[in-house]
A and B are shown apart, each in its own frame.
Chain A
């Protein structure tokens, strides 16, 4: 039995070191799908390394909130990495919280990033902040209702126990309530991590930016931290999606071989999810901003249907 500290270190390392690779792979895949050779999947590491060598230009209108936010974002993501099942079903901090805590921890990050966007005193930052919190607020009912549907079937909202119970359920992938909840969660993942069709991470037009607009003022090491935290957010959301809904390969005991198998299974699941996101991003156009609430309402309807399927079948 590996000690908790080692498991914690492994999870933090996997998330911290693996997140830029996920973002890079997504970019390469998108490029290949439109006929370009595209950057190498290891490109984000080179980007981060270069950013660390640059000076940080900080606007004189900002306050300590602006400078503290990158560190707080990274801290939030690292704490979430200790709660989400990545290599084992019950990571070290699993006793400290559940899915509701995760939702609100992500909101903690969004709260401070929005404040940092407003702090610079530019119209871009304010606009990005306003849109980002609107989308986060509208996505929340979907997540909670989908979580409620899961909790109903598993009898608990503790992540580790949900994973264990679903792992033992046969025909999990054919359960309609499960698939509906997965679809709802997938749409919320796109919204919260700023992927198409909600937000284009590669846009240069400030009027179309949501997440990027809030980080326009960051540079140097602050920008490196913010980009790293954003990559970790994508990794953690996808890992949550993969391991919560399809927990194959995740086991309870913290032994070396089962953990390695769990990590390999996660890599496979992330590859599938990333491919799906890349295909979606290259074939679907970005939604107009005020059509996004309609998309989120649709995802809420899916989550609600999933809940009804569980309640009425019980």
Chain B
């Protein structure tokens, strides 16, 4: 029964990919059902940007659904919610009026709420789902406010009408609409500081759902931001792009900083999603800034870089979540401190996770590197803008992206190394079993797609350039190099991942052949790890995830505010002997301390003050009615 549901989801995914690809290539179509819902009716239309995101949804839904077939357990309610989730996500990029968009958005949020809540017993799940519901509906409120404002200004709720009416709107109305829409979409995308739901909700959901949420759902927030900043509102002032750029820079650095100190594997991956959204926003912000300055070619490049990173992130984040799911499924725990040695027991999962880690760490010649390189190039060319203030903003973006790249590499050394390498740190890890065939198949296809997206960059970028050109309504870029090399902005830079890959493979043979030629000794002997001659060598001697993150905790202690908990159990007969020591070094999020807790406290204070209005006295209520009547008579 569950295979049927997930098989159906796979078919929907394949159909979505096909339809999306058709849209990207320029095919268009419209579907109108005016009678289905009020306020404009159901209206769906296909355009290149929508087609791109639809293809993205399909492309990620297929492996996730195949993976889910190997996932034993789950109730009918979860399967139904999953189907609704996939279908509603597919409807969002197709929506072409505010009502359809809002309905599809809300369906998506509700379906994912139920999926996050799938473990109804655990307090953690309930809290995660609650915070997720609150944040997503706060975002929806902002979205609706922005859309209604824009609709009031343009006189209609259809997106086409907004595009036409945008240049005629007053500057303040457009900026207000932009701010509201941006807040709503940024909350869904998980941009700092609206990210608080992401690290709670993504780990709580089952892994195939986390893969979809991280890989695709937050990208729909990016889709919304793209529409708001580049499409519906026309060309805006420079501060829109600057705000997006700064938000992107902050998200990328802060996301990876919090990921570094996590030892819950799925929460680590969730924080990394925040980081990658930051990188995408760097591209979107640059595109918006360049467009407002009139540099269309650079805006095109920025948008293409953002779209490329969107698809790359979907590929490797889905792969990493599916791998993490296989690990959690096999060991029964999400805590990295209890894993280890899994590479010998789960070789396929380990290899796929390694490819995903290398891709997200932006190591050449994989896909993560190409999109980060492209983003760097977009940021580097900011000197074509003459304002020193904007140059500084871009420099901030460059420094953040560079720091993020290095920290992401460090984080994934930790994630892969502690989870898969060396000795198992617990019995559960020592008895782990390899993932069943459907899971393996899904992971291998995603790993292959990461490699393909990296090596085939010369094919991908022109396609994305065409999509970007249709959004910005300019001519598509001139040929960016040939099948082997990417050439960007004339002779500013060039890259050939295919040549690098071939060179790496060839160079791998050089030491092998050289050793053979010089007659190096081929003898190998296995022995224990060098432990200074220690008699007892156990997994307790290994480095832990907490220890690995220690240098970062010290350097960035402003963000972490680490506290130390040391618990020592002394021997009952003498304080000179110790029976047990427990050391904990938890970190606190500055956003919890400085933003959310004060905001919630303020909300409580205001609510309590407002509560005095509801005193329960019937006389006072009658007085309210009288006052309201008098007011209406005066106003009328």
Contact = CB atoms under 8 A, between A and B. Distances in A.
Chains A and B touch each other in the complex, with CB atoms below 8 Å apart = yes
B539 interface: yes
A58 B534 CA distance: 17
A122 B542 CA distance: 5
A260 interface: no
Contacts of A88: none
B398 interface: yes
A255 B487 CA distance: 27
Interface in A289-314: 289-290, 293, 300, 304, 307, 311-312, 314
Given A52-B515, A155-B492, A130 B521 contact: no
Given A145-B402, A217-B529, 12 more contacts: A12-B510, A55-B521, A56-B521, A76-B504, A96-B495, A96-B499, A96-B500, A110-B409, A122-B542, A130-B547, A144-B398, A156-B493
A97 B495 contact: yes
A136 B413 CA distance: 12
B539 A104 contact: no
A111 B398 contact: no
B377 to A, nearest CB: 8
A70 to B, nearest CB: 7
B496 A137 contact: no
Contacts of B526: 57-60
Interface stretch (A30-38, A166-174, A219-227): A219-227
Contacts of B508: 71-72, 75
Nearest to B552: A134
B491 A96 contact: no
B520 interface: yes
Contact of B418 (A52, A53, A56, A118): A118
A130 B491 contact: no
Interface of B: 340-341, 343-344, 354, 358, 361-364, 369, 373, 376-377, 380, 383, 388, 391, 395, 398-399, 401-403, 405-407, 409-410, 412-414, 416-418, 421-423, 485, 491-496, 499-500, 503-504, 507-508, 510-512, 515, 518-531, 539, 541-543, 547-552, 554-555
Contacts of B418: 118
A19 to B, nearest CB: 14
10 contacts: A58-B524, A59-B526, A79-B500, A95-B485, A100-B493, A108-B358, A119-B421, A121-B340, A134-B555, A312-B388
A258 to B, nearest CB: 23
B520 A53 contact: yes
CB-based closest 8 A-B pairs: A126-B543, A137-B406, A121-B422, A118-B417, A144-B402, A75-B507, A140-B406, A133-B410
A143 interface: yes
B543 A56 contact: no
B493 A105 contact: no
A158 B493 contact: yes
Contacts of B377: 157
Given A57-B525, A144-B398, A126 B548 contact: yes
A3 interface: no
A165 to B, nearest CB: 11
A156 B409 contact: no
A278 B402 CA distance: 30
A122 B409 contact: no
Q: Which of A133, A136, A157 has the most CB of B within 10 A?
A: A133
Contacts of B340: 121
Of B412, B421, B423, B504, most buried by chain A (CB within 10 Å of CB) is B421
Which secondary structure dominates where chain B touches chain A? helix
Contacts of A97: 364, 494-496, 500
Given A111-B363, A137-B407, A141-B399, A78 B520 contact: no
A59 B525 contact: no
Given A96-B496, A130-B551, A140 B402 contact: yes
B422 A120 contact: yes
B417 A121 contact: no
A209 to B, nearest CB: 13
A220 B409 CA distance: 29
A134 B551 contact: yes
Contacts of A78: 503, 507, 510
A161 interface: yes
A52 B529 contact: no
B511 A70 contact: yes
A130 B511 contact: no
A71 to B, nearest CB: 5
A160 B526 CA distance: 47
B417 A115 contact: yes
Q: Which one of A134, A152, A307 has the highest number of Cβ atoms from chain B below 10 Å of its Cβ? A: A134
B343 A121 contact: no
A286 interface: no
A238 interface: no
A115 B417 CA distance: 6
A96 to B, nearest CB: 4
Interface of A: 12, 52-65, 70-72, 74-76, 78-79, 82, 93, 95-98, 100-101, 104-105, 107-108, 110-111, 114-115, 118-123, 125-127, 129-131, 133-134, 136-141, 143-145, 148, 151-152, 155-158, 161, 216-217, 220-221, 224-225, 289-290, 293, 300, 304, 307, 311-312, 314
Given A59-B529, A143-B402, A107 B363 contact: yes
A118 B413 contact: yes
Residue among B395, B406, B508 with the most chain A CB within 10 A? B406
B521 A108 contact: no
B547 to A, nearest CB: 7
A293 to B, nearest CB: 5
B403 A119 contact: no
B348 to A, nearest CB: 13
Given A141-B399, A152-B383, A121 B406 contact: no
Given A54-B521, A75-B510, A156-B492, A122 B500 contact: no
B376 A100 contact: yes
B406 A139 contact: yes
A12 B363 CA distance: 22
A57 B510 CA distance: 23
With most chain A CB atoms within 10 A of its CB, the pick from B380, B491, B522, B527 is: B380
A111 B413 contact: yes
A103 B125 CA distance: 41
Nearest to B340: A121
A157 B376 CA distance: 11
A65 B398 contact: no
B494 A95 contact: yes
A140 B403 contact: yes
Given A57-B527, A96-B500, A134-B410, A158 B399 contact: no
A71 B509 CA distance: 8
Contacts of A82: 503
Contacts of B539: 121
Given A118-B417, A119-B421, A311-B388, A79 B503 contact: yes
A123 B511 contact: no
Contacts of A220: 521, 523-524
A123 B542 CA distance: 5
Contacts of A314: 383
A111 B358 contact: yes
A196 B524 CA distance: 34
A290 B423 CA distance: 29
Interface centre among A56, A123, A137 (most CB of B within 10 A): A137
Contacts of B395: 145, 148, 304, 307
A110 B406 CA distance: 11
A133 B409 contact: yes
Contacts of B422: 61-62, 118-121
A36 B500 CA distance: 44
Contacts of A98: 493-495
Contacts of A120: 422, 529-530
A71 B376 CA distance: 30
Nearest to A68: B508
Given A75-B507, A95-B499, A141 B423 contact: no
A130 B550 contact: yes
A176 B373 CA distance: 28
